[in-house]
Chain A
Amino acid sequence: MEKLITAYTYIGEGKVVVNKQLIFYQEKIATFAEFIKALYKQEQISYPKFYKMDSLSKLGFMCAELLLRHEKPGRFKPGSLAVVLANSSSSLETDLTYQDSIKNRSAYFPSPSVFVYTLANIVIGEICIRHSLKGENAFLVSEKFNPRQLLDHVSDLLDNNRAGACICGWVEILGNTFKAMVALVEKENDGTLKTSFGSMPFTEASLNELMNLTEKSIWKN
């Protein structure tokens, strides 16, 4: 059974590309916080919990939001849309913030609302809450983007009907260096899947291509 990438979000080098369309661009990025806030405002998203999230969750949340916002409600049955994400530095960005809060015994302020984000998979939890996703989920860590690991795991989910579709990709942030690529992968059962950017098979090559979008410049119309 063929599996296709039917939508994707790319965030990197100040650019946000959704399904081949450049939707947002900041030439000079001061901080991630400013970048993501500007994107959130431009896209007129209204989700107050967003402001409580750590950077990794904000990055993953925005990717999923831009990926799923035009989907018809009910297109995915409850439990049928899986989430598989990966990155290199896990939750290190927030680990450093948390460690700072306990460095000094005379100014010791460990906060549960920071501590909870010192787990890489919380970003998946946030996406699942937002979109009511109750199915399979996994967070993988690899030094560099490893399309083979994502492909193997996601293919198993779809091939064995553990999921009907899957959101998968890479969400990496450390300091003000960040990059994300999240794709929606679906099974092609009867030739009815349509995309605005042509047919893209779910392969290592496609994942690599999407990860290097700005180099390939395929977002330019």
Chain B
Amino acid sequence: MKTVYTVSENIISSLGFTARENAVSLSGGATGIKLHNDPKLYAQPVPLSLVDTARLEQNFEAILGKYKKDNKPGFYTRLEKMLILSVADALAGTPVRPENEKVLLLLSTTKGNIDLLEDRFTAKFDHKRIYLWAVANILKDFFGFINMPLIISNACISGVMALIVASRLIRSGKYQTAVVAGGDIATEFVISGFQSFQALSPEPCKPFDLHRTGLSLGEGCGTIVLSSTGPEGANSGILLMGGSVSNDANHISGPSRTGEELSMAIDAAIGESGSLNRDIDYISAHGTATPYNDEMESKAISLSKLNDVPVNSYKGYWGHTLGASGLMESAALITCMKSNRLIKSAGFETPGVSERINVITETIQKPLDTCLKIASGFGGCNAALVFQKT
């Protein structure tokens, strides 16, 4: 069995265009969720975490130059630009060559270019761009990956699942390196959908808080490069040690009442990592701030006897970014492990879940050696992932 190293990571969100920039913003504690009044996104003003469009265009222009690509105005979609920037930043400074046959690209997304279904875009883009594989092919062609990309679309656990699938393919020796990218954009499609569920909070979301009023949506990308070859230099020794997926088999849009199934995934992931539950130093939760999700997570954390472990949710900073969330949050977790820093859970004041859990209320330094990432989503799916320092 091969070891799986994390080689590099990128985060693109309302808080910045690199993992480092995001880490600085997260440490500062400011949220990227703001009230947006854009009729193209929703008829009423709605709190969202959006990627800065002017900066996106400017950075994308620069990357076209760097990769000596023709500027074909109007060719790339918003999501594709964000993903290309994210992958380019994650690859920069690594020895990874996409044209190597042992390198695999994985894409995690729930809705891809779903904005292309809107009338304003249908005439501008080839109708095939609506397919998730078309987005992956854009990335494949841009960077010159030779293998067929692997695409995961498994609701809100897509990102964590893509990391799990990638790590398994590396561990079994099928590939040496995996470039795991995830992205989703804020669109009327998604905003109106969550609004129809009455799941959106009128203010920035407050995961695990007693007064939480639902989730905030966001957009973004995250990329993590995994490899069986240890990285050289400073970006170092954080390994992906184990992962597991489970299903509630209970309801397609409501989480488990007991948290038992997420707990099963947590215990299996920790078991595979060779650690014990008491070794976990920090949990990056899904924490969507819907009443049921946070309650279920608290039960799962409790069932796995992780009540005292510091836990946070990044959703209060950049909202729920769907298929990108698992990658952005895992990348944030990796930067926290490197700097041994626990980031306070934005929006949390008063405990509001039935099980006692240790939500982080203050950003502090603490040695982080073994950390857990968890996620849950529609369709009853759950996933857990364990990272550990060498």
A: which residues have CB within 8 A of B? 79, 83, 88-90, 92, 95-96, 98-99, 102-103, 105, 108, 110-112, 115-116, 118-122, 124-126, 128-129, 131-143, 146, 149, 152-153, 156, 159-160, 162
Give the distance to chain A from B158, nearest Cβ to Cβ, in Å.
8
Known: A98-B193, A102-B192. 6 other contacts (CB 8 A): A95-B189, A125-B380, A137-B381, A140-B151, A141-B133, A149-B150
Query: Which of these, B130, B133, B378, contacts A125 with CB under 8 Å?
Result: B378
Flag whether B349 is at the interface (Cβ < 8 A): no
Query: Which of these, B133, B252, B377, contacts A88 with CB under 8 Å?
Result: B133
Contact at B252–A95, with CB atoms within 8 Å? no
Closest to B169 in A: A152
Chain B interface mostly: mixed
CB-CB under 8 A from A162, the residues of chain B are: 244, 268
Contact at B379–A134, with CB atoms within 8 Å? no
Closest to A103 in B: B119
A52 to B193 alpha-carbon distance, docked (Å): 18
CB-CB under 8 A from A98, the residues of chain B are: 189, 193
Residue-wise, chain B 189-222 has the 8 Å CB interface mask toward A (1 for contact) of: 1001111110000000000000000000000000
A120 to B189 alpha-carbon distance, docked (Å): 15
Contact at A141–B165, with CB atoms within 8 Å? no
Contact at B148–A139, with CB atoms within 8 Å? no
Give the distance to chain B from A18, nearest Cβ to Cβ, in Å.
24
CB-CB under 8 A from A92, the residues of chain B are: 130-131
Contact at A89–B189, with CB atoms within 8 Å? no
A123 to B171 alpha-carbon distance, docked (Å): 29
Contact at B195–A110, with CB atoms within 8 Å? yes
A89 to B111 alpha-carbon distance, docked (Å): 11
Contact at A143–B133, with CB atoms within 8 Å? yes
Closest to B261 in A: A134
Flag whether B105 is at the interface (Cβ < 8 A): no
Contact at B252–A115, with CB atoms within 8 Å? no
CB-CB under 8 A from B27, the residues of chain A are: none
In chain B, residues 160-191, which have Cβ atoms closer than 8 Å to a Cβ of chain A? 161, 165, 168-169, 172, 174, 188-189
Flag whether B251 is at the interface (Cβ < 8 A): yes
Closest to A162 in B: B244
